[in-house]
Every structure is written in structure tokens, then in C-alpha cells.
Amino acid sequence: MTNTIKRNNWSRFCRRFSTTNQFCEAEIRLIGSTAEPGEATRRFSFVGMALKKEGRLIDGVQLFGATADGQPVAAPVLTITNPKEIVVERDQDGADRRLTVRSADGMEATVVIHDSSDSVSRRELVERTAYSVYESRGHSHGDDQQDWLEAERRLNKAASVFV
């Protein structure tokens, strides 16, 4: 079932979509963009989506996620500027499977939500992020517990923005 979200419902939809699909394994596919080869498809753990506003005007749709390289989740994985349409596709059970955001300039970003059985667990996300913290400290040993707590703090902070 495909549903085009009315523009005046975008904020509410973003919160619902974020809450429902948080930490699911996802894949972004770009069409009609200026993306470099290799960046047109990207896998990540979905954290949330938000509207980027300038005053009362919606300037973009931002997608946030945790990538395999442990990059911070505070920055968007992708921002679709000047969005004109948001479409969600659900399976027969009502679960979100595909989100498409189209911009006025012809770019189209599709987020494919994979089954929860394919999803990376929250624990794995914390592990990846903790390892990234360890790497940023220059691989110095002895602070693994602090790295873990910092990773949890980062994920909790990022996730709380979308609920």
C-alpha cells in the first residue's frame, strides 16, 4: 500500500516514522542526484528523520543514522533540499517498507527499511560507536567502560531528538 503524505502532516509523519523504525537496518538509494559513484546506495541503521526549517518554511528533509564506520549520529546521513513530496509504502501487515522523498529539482531519495530480522541490534550500534570512540582516543587501552558509556550517551541523545 502506497500513501502520499500531505505536506501539513509531514512533522507528525516524521515523528511516527522515526519512532516506528528507529534502529532498523536501512538502505538509501538516490536517483537524479549529483552523488558520486558509490555514494548513490548506502546502508545504515536508521535513527530518525526530521524536517529542516528556515522560519516556517520547510527547507529540507534530513535522514539520520548510524553507519558501520561508527560516525556520529548527530549529523544527517542525507538532506533532501526543497522537498515536494513524501511517499511511504507499507507491506500487507502495515509495516513501513519504503520511504521516498522527492525534491523540486528532480532528486529522489528512497529509504528501504529491511525486516527487523536483518536489523542491527542496539547493542551492535553501541559496540560500533564505542569502538569509534576508542579509535578517536588513539587506541589507548584501559577506558573501555567509559567508551561504552560515551557510545550509549551519543546514541541516546541522537535517538531522543526523534521521539
Query: Do 70 and 135 sit in the same domain of this protein?
Result: no
Q: What 3-state class would DSSP assign to 42?
A: strand
Nearest 5°: the CA angle 69, 75, 81 is 120
pLDDT at position 123 is 79
**DSSP characters over 58-88:** EEEEEEEEE-TT---SSS-SEEEESEEEEEE
pLDDT of residue 72 exceeding 60, the answer is no
Query: Do 108 and 141 sit in the same domain of this protein?
Result: no
Query: Do 23 and 69 sit in the same domain of this protein?
Result: yes
Query: Do 55 and 104 sit in the same domain of this protein?
Result: yes
Cβ distance 163 to 64 under 8 Å? no
Query: Do 126 and 77 sit in the same domain of this protein?
Result: no
Rounded distance between C-alpha atoms, residue 85 and residue 133, angstroms = 37
Nearest CA to 115 out of 3, 10, 24 is that of 24
What digits encode the pLDDT tens for the residues 7-48? 999 999 999 999 899 888 889 988 875 555 444 577 888 889
Query: Do 32 and 74 sit in the same domain of this protein?
Result: yes
Query: Do 110 and 133 sit in the same domain of this protein?
Result: no
Domain that holds residue 127: 122-160
Rounded distance between C-alpha atoms, residue 11 and residue 48, angstroms = 12
Query: Do 70 and 134 sit in the same domain of this protein?
Result: no
Residue 9 maps to which CATH number?
A: 2.30.29
Cβ distance 148 to 156 under 8 Å? no
Query: Do 65 and 7 sit in the same domain of this protein?
Result: yes
Provide the domain count of the chain: 2
Q: What 3-state class would DSSP assign to 125?
A: helix
More confident position, 124 or 106: 106
Query: Do 82 and 148 sit in the same domain of this protein?
Result: no
